[in-house]
Amino acid sequence: MWNPVSVNSDMLIPADMETSYLHVKTVNTVGSYDFIRMRVLFYDEEGETEGGIGIWFNESVSEYKLGCQSSGTPFLTSLPVETDKQWVVEKRGYRIIIHCNGKLVVNITATSETCSNKDDNWNTFWGREVTKINLRGYGFQTASYYIG
C-alpha cells in the first residue's frame, strides 16, 4: 500500500523503525541539476526530533545526517542508473542503512567521529527510540512510500 510523499507536510507518520523499514519510490535523474531532495526526520513518542537523513540529487548525490552534520557527504557508491528508484531506509539505534534498487548506498553510524556538528549535541538526537517519521520530497516527478 503505497502513499504519496508530501511537500512541506508536518504530518508525523507512525513508524517503529526498530522493527520496520521505510520504503520510498522516486523517479529522478542523477546529474539533471534539478533541485531534488528527499528528507526523513525521525521522532520519538513525545514528538522530539531524533535526527534524520536527507538525500540531495544534484550534479552528484549526497546524504546529510540531520542533527549530526553541517553539510552533505557524497555517496561512496554510485546509484543504479534507472530513473525509477526504490529506496529502503533502515534505522537501528545510531546506524542508518540505505539501499537503492537493492544496492547498498549508505551504511553509517552516527558517532563523534562521523558527526561534524558537535555543538548541536548529536548524541541526544540520535539516542532516542524512533516511533514516528516525517517524510518530505521536493522536486520529484513522483514519490510514494510505505512502512513495512
| Per-residue model confidence as pLDDT tens digits over 44-83 | 888 887 777 877 766 566 666 666 766 677 777 777 778 8
Please indicate whether residue 14 or residue 5 has the higher confidence score (pLDDT): 14
The boundaries of the domain holding residue 92 are 3-147
- Domain count of the fold of the chain: 1
As given in the structure block, the three cell numbers for residue 82 are: 534507472
Asked if the model's pLDDT at residue 119 lies above 60, the reply is no
What are the φ/ψ torsions at residue 125 (nearest 5 degrees)?
-65, -50
Residues 76-96: what's their mean pLDDT?
Answer: 84
* Contact (CB, 8 A) for 145 and 14: no
The CATH number of whichever domain residue 83 belongs to comes to 2.60.120.200
Q: Residue range 38-43: average pLDDT?
A: 83
- What are the cell numbers at 60? 552528484
Radius of gyration of the chain, Cα coordinates, nearest whole angstrom: 14
Helix ranges (H only) for 47-137 are: 122-126
